[in-house]
Structure 1
Amino acid sequence: MEVGNTTNSKFDGGVRISEHPGTFEEHDSEFDGFSAEVSFGDEQIVMGLVFCQKNDPGDRQRFSMAHELGHLLLDIQGELNGEKVANRFASAFLLPRELMVKRLGARRNLITYEELKKFKEDTGVSIQAIIYRMKDLEIISRSSL
């Protein structure tokens, strides 16, 4: 399964995903997106909202939206680092294990820049996220990079 265009999408369960019409620069230069839960009236209808920077490249937008979706869907508590958990969720959401193993194999000693570039073009996911996911799935060891 590959994830297509997630911008301006609505997932089952009431999560709306969209581009932010402006920038977040006035808030924080490191701010790539945000998510929120919104309740409507006495019925407590809850809808999740996920926004990303409109001017960010597509691969950055996709990762930011998946990251923020992770914040909405996961119950991150205790000693877990919420940002790391959301990053891991985003990479798994955008690059499922089955896709990674099908395209790259279960184990690798080496991967070329050309392979990474082609995989990025095919999936719309950044090379950084692809490498992160390869390490997470132990397709390639940290020492091999």
Structure 2
Amino acid sequence: MATSTPTSSMIENTIKEYFASKLEFFDTKSSAQSSRTQTEDCNFSLAPASFHRELGIPAGFALSNTAWDEHVLGQLPLLHTAQSERLETVIDAAARKAVVHVRNEMVLKDGNKATVENALFFYFIDDGTKIKKIVEFTDVVETKRYLGLVEEAKHAAKKE
């Protein structure tokens, strides 16, 4: 039996729902909301390889839904605002893949700001309704700067 190909609009809806779930996660801090568009075994990994080398992350490192949520939950108390803007989306429905160019703007409670651009590579299950793998190709320099700001804010919060 042949598997039907999802339409581009089906995949677009899943992508929209993915970003909506992340915004809800920011507000509710509920992991159930965060991963509702992902399969239970969805992997989240980072690229390029230079990012791994720069931060001392092992090659091939990937996070589960739960580990990703825990990583983000550690940053939420330090954030004043966070916004994501989808700049461009390219969908290949037949291959069940999409790439989304995103600009993320974060303002920490201490007033420090960072803008990080990413390309998110999404891999979908056969019907396009769930994401089974995410690879985030990130701006190495600005992401490293942002993570440094987060660490500084954590240390400052511990002193208070």
Same fold (TM over 0.5): no
TM-score (norm 1): 0.23
TM-score (norm 2): 0.22
Structure with higher RCO (Cα < 8 A, 6+ apart): 2
| Structure (1 or 2) with the greater strand fraction | 2
